[in-house]
Amino acid sequence: MTVFWDCDGLVHIELLKQGSTVNSDRYIETLRKLRARLTRVRPGKNVILHHDNARPHTSRQTQDAMKSLRFYETLPHPSYSPDLAPSDFYLLPKLKEHIKGTHFEDDDAVQGDVRRWFRGKPHEFFADGMRKLIWRWRACVDKEGDYVEK
């Protein structure tokens, strides 16, 4: 799953078929879709993309594609810092909590449940995740770059 969200809610989600991997080509295609979606759902907004340092995100190919797409500003992400990635410390743990113990018939059932879960979240849920990001970045600076616990 690749998910993009902001304080107003879910922006774009892609759920890959089982066994698929995200490489630079796949991520660039995702960024193209994201750019088109942002134009529709967040017109005129100043967008800052925050993604981690996974190879598909940082490859020369991806960086060149982002320039040619005239993509938005990117927020730098420190290496080895899942504690500063809001999807890792906030969004996905809450989704895992929702799914825990559920048996799904097939991939379509999982995808449907995940999409419904995201759609059912109020604006405040996403805004809270962004507030926690701000708190974690401040805590990281205060700790001079050390890992930020809950």
Q: Is residue 99 part of a domain?
A: yes
> Between residues 80 and 100, which one has the greater pLDDT?
100
pLDDT at residue 137 tops 90: no
Q: Is residue 136 part of a domain?
A: yes
Say how many domains are in the chain: 1
pTM over 0.95: no
pLDDT category of residue 141 using cuts at 50, 70 and 90: confident
pLDDT at residue 146 tops 70: no
State which residues form the domain around 119: 2-142
Residues whose CB is less than 8 angstroms from the CB of residue 22 and which lie 6 or more positions away in sequence, other chains included: 2, 16, 30, 54, 56
Q: Is residue 18 part of a domain?
A: yes
Q: Is residue 70 part of a domain?
A: yes
CATH number of the domain residue 102 falls in: 3.30.420.10
Q: Cα dist. 7→11, 85, 116, 125, 144 in Å?
A: 10, 14, 18, 8, 27
Q: Could you count the other beta carbons within 10 Å of the beta carbon of residue 99? A: 12
Q: Is residue 119 part of a domain?
A: yes
Q: Is residue 147 part of a domain?
A: no
Q: Which of 81, 113, 83, 109 is nearest to 95 (CA)?
A: 113
Q: Is residue 77 part of a domain?
A: yes
If you average pLDDT over every residue of the chain, what do you get? Answer: 87
How far apart are the C-alpha atoms of 37 and 21, rounded to whole Å?
22
